[in-house]
């Protein structure tokens, strides 16, 4: 069974993505999971444009409005004890109403706390991460690759993270 990756897009956008000449990154990095899930420490990453209200600035949507060809490449750290009411969302490219009601559809901190309590995973790390998925047109993820990504990865290592769930939106 193969799913349709372009099912939700209007026809012209579906054709754009189908026809994009893409080069596969080779060789792909590979880290086998060497521990049972029940012993692994997890961190979560999403592209949903989440931030913690009153503690962090939103992603720079004014900048994107002024220059539609640019997207804010920074990231926000979301703590494991974040409450739904503290979650803010800054993302022009999706309807954010449902994730303002339930962050777990894109950053499942509360589901992972349940799995931790049930012993299905070892632990949920203190820190989780959100970027805002629109990275310029044509797409340019150099800042993620060379700056912010390595910074997030280093903080994960410091927190003893073994495995990461990524959920683009």
Partner 1 sequence: MPVLARVIEAVGISTVTVTMMPDLAERVGVPRIIGLEFPFGHTLGHAGDREEQTKVIRDALRVLRDARQPNAVEHLPYEWPDFERWKREWHPSEPAPIIAFLIEQRRRARAAE
Binding-site member from 111, 113, 126, 127 for partner 1 (CB under 8 A): 111
CB of 56 to partner 1, least distance (A): 19
44 touches 128 (CB < 8 A): yes
CB of 32 to partner 1, least distance (A): 7
133 touches 49 (CB < 8 A): yes
Site string for partner 1, 65-94 (x = CB under 8 A): x--xx----------------------xxx
Q: How far are the Cα atoms of 48, 85, 166 from residue 107, in angstroms, in the given order? A: 8, 14, 9
Binding-site member from 60, 86, 114, 116 for partner 1 (CB under 8 A): 114
Cα separation of 169 and 151, whole Å? 22
Site for partner 1 in 26-55 (CB under 8 A): 26-33, 36-37, 45-48
Binding-site member from 56, 77, 116, 164 for partner 1 (CB under 8 A): 164
Cα separation of 29 and 167, whole Å? 19
Is 59 an interacting residue with respect to partner 1 (CB under 8 A)? no
Q: What is the dihedral of CA 104, 133, 59, 93, to 10 degrees?
A: -90
């Amino acid at each position: 069974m193969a799913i349709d990756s372009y099912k939700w897009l209007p026809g012209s956008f579906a054709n754009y993505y189908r026809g994009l000449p893409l080069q596969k990154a080779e060789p792909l990095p590979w880290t086998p999971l060497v521990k049972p899930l029940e012993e692994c420490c997890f961190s979560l990453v999403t592209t949903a444009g989440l931030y913690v209200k009153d503690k962090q600035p939103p992603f720079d949507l004014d900048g994107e409005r002024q220059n539609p060809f640019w997207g804010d490449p920074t990231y926000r750290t979301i703590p494991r004890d974040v409450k739904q009411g503290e979650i803010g969302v800054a993302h022009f490219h999706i309807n954010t109403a449902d994730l303002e009601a339930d962050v777990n559809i894109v950053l499942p901190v509360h589901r992972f706390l349940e799995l931790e309590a049930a012993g299905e995973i070892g632990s949920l790390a203190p820190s989780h991460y959100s970027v805002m998925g629109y990275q310029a047109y044509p797409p340019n993820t150099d800042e993620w690759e060379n700056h912010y990504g390595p910074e997030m990865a280093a903080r994960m290592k410091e927190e003893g993270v073994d495995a990461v769930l990524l959920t683009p939106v």
